[in-house]
Structure 1
Amino acid sequence: MRIGELSRRTGVPVPTIKYYLREGLLPAGELTSPNQASYGDAHERRLRLVRALLEVGGLSVAAIGEVLVAVDDKEQPVHKLLGTATRCLVPGYGEASGSEGAEDAETVLARERVTRLVASRGWHIDPGNKAVEALVAALASLDRVGQGGFVDVLDDYAEAAERVGRADLDYTAGRVAREDLVEAVVVGTVLGDAVFAALRRMAQVDASVRTFGEEASRA
């Protein structure tokens, strides 16, 4: 198909498709003449993935580029490749440490809590994992704003996250092709975060109504 047809199928404007081609988010089409190229179903699939990561997942073009490099890497073992892909998707929250590289008291306490949580749940995860650092930073920030008591529900959060994590991998288990497997993890992680956030808010509204009355549903 020509680029115009690719645009019509996906709803992505031609100038945007050309931008993605320049940025390497889409592979080049097959040249049919010096100024024309042909695109196939793989281009349409990749373009829809890029738009989903951008519009629903909220990733930047640069982050999408990193994710796609991981998706297309056929040299690494699948487990390592999945780890690379998911690490690209974990948002950063700045440095968890205090001034001059020394961790403040809140960060030290948060790190101890996260270490205990990982050990108690028997999770196989490296202490330097980006997600671990993000959790440390979040807990330290909660402590600084006077909400340190949030740790009382941390294990409940971990239990829910564990169930969701298992569901994610159960979803991907049926994918046989390598590209399908890695894409499923990427899409499931990014778009799954959006789905889970929406479900969490819906559950909060329901719990608020049940706890505080019907007027809470209008909040």
Structure 2
Amino acid sequence: MKISELSQRTGVPVASIKYFRRQGLLPAGRATAATLAEYGEEHVQRLRLIKALTTLGGLSIAATRDVLAAVDQADSTDGTLKAISYALPVPVAQAPAGDEERETEAEAAAEADAADLIAAMDWQVPDDSPHVHGLTTVLRELRRLDANYRLDRLAAYGELARSIARLDLERAADFDDSPALAEQAVIVLALSGPVLELLRRLAQEDQVRRRMEARESADS
């Protein structure tokens, strides 16, 4: 197909396709003339993945190039999932500047809490995982706010997260070829957070309403 047809198939403007090609995100088409090239289904799939990474995943062009390189080099489903998971932004709390000595103490305590929680869940994750760092940052902020959180309660949320992760991987297991798997993984990993948060809030709204109705019934 010509570049104009590729644009129609994917919804990506011709100018953007040329830009992605210049940036090394999209392979060149097969040259048919000095200024013409033919594109195939592999270009359609790659463009869909680029769109998923940059729009749903919110990645920069540089980060998208890195994850595409990692996906291309991955030799397994797990390798593809890891490459995309590590490339997506990690939700972390932004800590305000404070006393350096207290910050160091708070960081050490949060690191210990994160390590204890991960050990309690028996999760096999490397210490340099960006998600371990993100968890440490959030736990540090909870300490700063004196939220009085308990690790056993966080572990209950961890069990829910484990079940969700299993569902995510079961969905990804249905995709054997790398481009389709990568695209599906971006959708699952990038959208699962907002969807789960909305479902959680809807469930909370439901529970609040039920409790209010129960109290009103008890008072009447």
TM class, shorter-chain normalised?
A: 0.7 to 0.9
Corresponding residue for 1:87?
86
Sequence identity, in percent?
37
Amino acid at match of 1:19: Y
Corresponding residue for 2:45?
45
Please give the alpha-carbon distance, in whole angstroms, between the structure 1 residues aligned to 2:58 and 2:199: 17
Shift of 1:117: 1.0
State the secondary structure of the residue aligned to 1:160: helix
- Any residues of structure 2 matched to 1:29-68 within 5 Å, and which? 29-68=29-68
Deviations 1:127-161 (A, max 9, x none): 22111011001111222234343756422321121
State the secondary structure of the residue aligned to 1:112: helix
CA shift in 2, pair 1:94/1:72, >3 Å: farther
Shift of 1:86: 2.0
State the secondary structure of the residue aligned to 1:58: coil
Deviates more, 1:100-109 or 1:62-71: 100-109
**CA RMSD of superposed structures (Å):** 3.0
- Any residues of structure 2 matched to 1:1-219 within 5 Å, and which? 1-74=1-74, 79-91=78-90, 93=92, 104-149=104-149, 153-211=153-211
Tell me which structure has the larger Cα radius of gyration: 2
Please give the alpha-carbon distance, in whole angstroms, between the structure 2 residues aligned to 1:71 and 1:4: 27
- Structure 2 unaligned regions, length at least 5: 214-220
**RCO (CA 8 Å, sep 6+): is it higher in 1 or 2?**
2
Note if contact 1:86-1:189 (Cα within 8 Å) is conserved in structure 2: yes
Corresponding residue for 2:218?
none
- Structure 1 unaligned regions, length at least 5: 214-219
Amino acid at match of 1:33: A
Deviates more, 1:161-170 or 1:98-107: 98-107
CA shift in 2, pair 1:56/1:77, >3 Å: closer
Note if contact 1:98-1:104 (Cα within 8 Å) is conserved in structure 2: no
Amino acid at match of 1:35: T
Q: TM-score normalised to the size of structure 2?
A: 0.80
Shift of 1:125: 1.2
Please give the alpha-carbon distance, in whole angstroms, between the structure 2 residues aligned to 1:3 and 1:176: 27
State the secondary structure of the residue aligned to 1:149: coil
Corresponding residue for 2:217?
none
Deviations 1:40-84 (A, max 9, x none): 11111211221122222222222211111111115x565445433
Q: TM-score normalised to the size of structure 1?
A: 0.80
Please give the alpha-carbon distance, in whole angstroms, between the structure 1 residues aligned to 2:59 and 2:180: 20
Please give the alpha-carbon distance, in whole angstroms, between the structure 2 residues aligned to 1:178 and 1:7: 22
Please give the alpha-carbon distance, in whole angstroms, between the structure 1 residues aligned to 2:201 and 2:23: 35
